[in-house]
Structure 1
Amino acid sequence: MLHSYPPELARLVRERWDEVQAVGSSRLPGLSALEELLSICYQASLLREEERPVTFRLILGDAECYPADAGPPWGLHRLMFTHARPLDAHELRRLSPAIKYHRALIGVREDGRGGFEIWGLLHSGPRWLHAAHGGRGSWSSLPPWALVIRASGPGQLAVARGPVTLGELQGGRITGPAVDVFEARWLSEGFEEVHAELTALHEEARPLARTPGAELDPEVTRLITWQMLKRLITTIRRAHHGGTLVILPPGEVGTAAGLLRIKYEFCEGEPRRRYRTLILATMDALAGRSKAWAPPSAAVGWDIYESSTDPHLVNLDEAVSELSTLIAGLADVDGAVVLTRRLELLGFGCEIGGELSEVPSVRRALDMEGMRYSIEPTETVGTRHRSAYRLCQHIHGALVIVVSQDGWVRFVTWKEGGVTYWDHAVTSGDV
């Protein structure tokens, strides 16, 4: 039996399949077979197993495509059943508690008779989540050519080619892949001045070091900051309370003082600037401790930071993680958490001034840079979103990240003449 949503999702996946560049090849099933596969997954997602929701990741491809001697954290551990099982919704229901969503995938192949069968499982480990959730060690062991279906909740499906999402079914809506705002040029440009400050401070300190360190790739500071923000967003999403992060240009803090009523404001001083202290310490440690083994002519980049097992760097990364957890927890109180672009923590429980004029409509970005957009009225959105729109209309340098109770993430800012928002892509990992 086909359900109404899977055929639409199948057509979207077929349209976008070849848009994703992939090494290797995988034959996508015919349209009717793909519809049937998605329909089975959709039906399974609506079931429950002993009062638990049915969640799973499914990967399509022959077992022989995966090496027999690999495993996490660097590869996929292949385990084949002695006898393949016919694929249906109830088999997925029975397997879902054992083949954990975060750590393993159900291996499926075409059975040669127009249907599908389950040949076993692939254990991936949880590192695939790090790229979206923040943290070092982010790496996808999924082959870039494979069809992957993620069922993260009742009626919630995402279909990907390897790690790249092609289409999603969420809340009865079928959409193309959401934008990963952290890849947008406009966001990087907004933090350029702050990251240049950090680089200058690090360069000033290099000659004073006992052992002059290696040169750092300037991208490192940006990527560490992005990891911090991703961790913040992920922690707020997992609380299922929702929250708002207001991020101001350092020079606009005075301007915002009359517009933001911060109930719990922190004292000026080093403690509220802890992120800056930690990232400078990370830069210094990365440069100093990498000199002995980094290529002589190469700048030390993100790949070295991400893979380093140096105890001092590991401790600094843990300190950044703890800080992000602290800040995200402050969002559980009604009102926004307020930071600067240096991620200096000004306070929380902030009310955005109600006297600011309403914004009757905003731009919904249709691409990464907001060059294409549609106009949407604001009367149907909640208080969090309307407050964000009002602030960004008044302070053009403000960036507001709104996390809804249901986990949706929206970036809001002023861009080229209007308040614009992006719905940010989130990995369906919080199940």
Structure 2
Amino acid sequence: MSPARTHAYPADLVRFASHRWPAGATTDDALLTEVVAVAYHASFLRDEDRPVLFRLIFTGPGKMPANDTSTEGLHVLKFASPRPFDEQEIRRLSQGAPYDRALIGVCKHEDTLVIWGIVHTGTRWLQSASGARAPDHALPDCVVLRVARPGHVALSWGEAPVAELRQGDLGDSRVDVFASDWLPARFADVRAEIADIVARDAKLAESVDLEVIRLIGQQLIRRTIAMIRAAHHGGTLLVVPPECATSMVDERFVRLKYPFADKPARSRYRQLLMPMLREIAPLSLPGQKAGPSEYFRALSTSARTSDDAMFELAQFIASLAAVDGAVVLSKRFEIMGFGGEIAGDLTTVPVVRRSLDLEGTRFEEEVVDRVGTRHRSAYRLCNRFHTALAVVVSQDGSVRFITWHQGAVTYWDHASLGLSESA
């Protein structure tokens, strides 16, 4: 008999985070536990049938940057008198300080916790949170707390995610499937195609490191996953090799309710990629190619417009996932269609492997009868097509990468915190 599950609570989250704060970060764990506990209990409330979703910034108003006259800075509004920090006050303020646009300011005042005001951030933080863009306005070094669904509390230090409590489970930002070797290896042939295209432009080829191509594609999928999580509806992405995409979606294995015509518009990612590379190229130093650091710098400067377009593409793909069924992409990130039903003569998969590390070298076997249809159908497809990749996002915000790996259907529980707080 398997041991009874142990659930984690706010005090456990604070202890868990205490070993994960960035170097130099200091927190009062007792006080922070009180903050997290209030936020945790507030997350289960409703305000006139509206969910209570919010972000808190745990620092005094004096630590916030001064308001400036720029259009993109933080807009810090201090109450004339502080408000009590409790679940009902958070419930009321959550509607006026919406999760995606504002932070509720909390600090200790005369030996008690109070709400001192609201910090309006706008929505651009979503782009940096889900896709590595440097933020337009840096938050001060302090604890930021996010509540995006009942019982889901995530802690960050400024912009840097640290730890989260979700449905009684603790997680941190170090479990990131995108950091594996096997995942980028699956796309090596497609990156080689793009490298051939880049090679036709001698100036571009000598100015941009091909590692940037991997990062751009990775950010598209990161952002798409983040947006699906933020919508709270779940969804499935199927990423399939171009050579078998047609055979998979021709009604035999994946029935697409809404297939897109094979026209250039289906390849929006490729249309945006080359201009973006050309915008990154000028940042290269003499005798060197523009690499990852130049890419991240370009996201807020020369490549900002292209990055906005990539962000919109991720949002579009995520919105397609709101329709019942899978969104099918080729490995070139062509949008084949959506509303996909995995069907056909696919063998039942009774047991799968749950990877215990990034590369799937350590694993444990699991029977599949404890998961829903969405997961089981993805298992069957990956069992039939060994080069396919499924990304299944559950309504609770959990993300599972599924593929055939080292002789068996294997999955990874992906726990990045970029926008998981909002999902």
Which category of TM-score, normalised to the shorter sequence, fits these structures?
0.7 to 0.9
**Counterpart-to-counterpart distance in 2, 1:6 and 1:240:** 22
Match of 1:43 among 41, 44, 53: 41
Q: Give the gaps of 5 or more residues in structure 2.
A: 1-5
Match of 1:282 among 252, 276, 290: 276
Partner of 2:165: 169
- Deviation at 1:386? 0.6
Match of 1:403 among 372, 389, 393: 393
Task: After TM superposition, list the pairs within 5 Å mapping 1:20-169 onto structure 2.
Answer: 20-22=21-23, 24-30=24-30, 33-69=31-67, 76-111=74-109, 113=111, 115-134=112-131, 138=135, 141-144=138-141, 146-169=142-165
Task: After TM superposition, list the pairs within 5 Å mapping 1:307-386 onto structure 2.
Answer: 307-308=300-301, 314=305, 316-317=306-307, 319-386=309-376
- Distance 1:175-1:373 versus aligned 2 partners, 3 A rule: farther
- Distance 1:74-1:191 versus aligned 2 partners, 3 A rule: farther
**Counterpart-to-counterpart distance in 2, 1:237 and 1:227:** 15
- Distance 1:420-1:71 versus aligned 2 partners, 3 A rule: farther
Partner of 1:215: 207
**Counterpart-to-counterpart distance in 2, 1:278 and 1:362:** 37
- Distance 1:65-1:384 versus aligned 2 partners, 3 A rule: same
Q: Give the gaps of 5 or more residues in structure 1.
A: none
Give yes or no for contact 1:6–1:42 (8 Å, CA) kept in 2. Answer: no
- Deviation at 1:341? 1.0
- Distance 1:360-1:299 versus aligned 2 partners, 3 A rule: same
- Distance 1:376-1:296 versus aligned 2 partners, 3 A rule: same
Partner amino acid, structure 2, of 1:305: A
- Distance 1:36-1:20 versus aligned 2 partners, 3 A rule: closer
Task: Tell me if 1:389 matches 2:379.
Answer: yes
Partner amino acid, structure 1, of 2:295: W
**Counterpart-to-counterpart distance in 2, 1:379 and 1:283:** 46
Superimposed CA distance per residue, residues 272-292 of structure 1 (whole angstroms, 9 cap, x where no aligned partner)? 3342233123323543xx36x
Give yes or no for contact 1:127–1:140 (8 Å, CA) kept in 2. Answer: no
Give yes or no for contact 1:169–1:175 (8 Å, CA) kept in 2. Answer: yes
- Deviation at 1:419? 2.0
Give yes or no for contact 1:128–1:141 (8 Å, CA) kept in 2. Answer: no
Give yes or no for contact 1:236–1:243 (8 Å, CA) kept in 2. Answer: yes
- Deviation at 1:413? 1.4
**Counterpart-to-counterpart distance in 2, 1:418 and 1:43:** 42
Partner of 2:3: none
Q: Aligned pairs, how many? A: 410
What TM-score do the two structures reach when normalised by structure 1?
Answer: 0.80
Partner of 2:299: 306
What TM-score do the two structures reach when normalised by structure 2?
Answer: 0.81
Partner of 1:229: 221
- Distance 1:131-1:285 versus aligned 2 partners, 3 A rule: closer
Partner amino acid, structure 2, of 1:26: T
- Distance 1:162-1:374 versus aligned 2 partners, 3 A rule: farther
- Deviation at 1:213? 8.1
Superimposed CA distance per residue, residues 329-349 of structure 1 (whole angstroms, 9 cap, x where no aligned partner)? 444444333222111233444
Superimposed CA distance per residue, residues 61-110 of structure 1 (whole angstroms, 9 cap, x where no aligned partner)? 34333333569887645444454433222232333233332233223233
* 1:176 aligned counterpart, secondary structure: strand
Partner amino acid, structure 2, of 1:410: R
**Counterpart-to-counterpart distance in 2, 1:135 and 1:180:** 14
- Deviation at 1:400? 0.6
**Counterpart-to-counterpart distance in 2, 1:377 and 1:11:** 30
- Distance 1:404-1:71 versus aligned 2 partners, 3 A rule: farther
Higher alpha-carbon deviation: 37-46 or 347-356: 347-356
Partner amino acid, structure 2, of 1:192: A
* 1:307 aligned counterpart, secondary structure: coil
**Counterpart-to-counterpart distance in 2, 1:250 and 1:281:** 23
* 1:413 aligned counterpart, secondary structure: strand
- Deviation at 1:129? 1.8
Partner of 1:197: 193
Higher alpha-carbon deviation: 179-188 or 129-138: 129-138
Give yes or no for contact 1:28–1:147 (8 Å, CA) kept in 2. Answer: no
**Counterpart-to-counterpart distance in 2, 1:325 and 1:27:** 36
Partner of 1:244: 236
RMSD: 3.5
- Percentage of identical aligned residues: 43
Give yes or no for contact 1:133–1:234 (8 Å, CA) kept in 2. Answer: yes
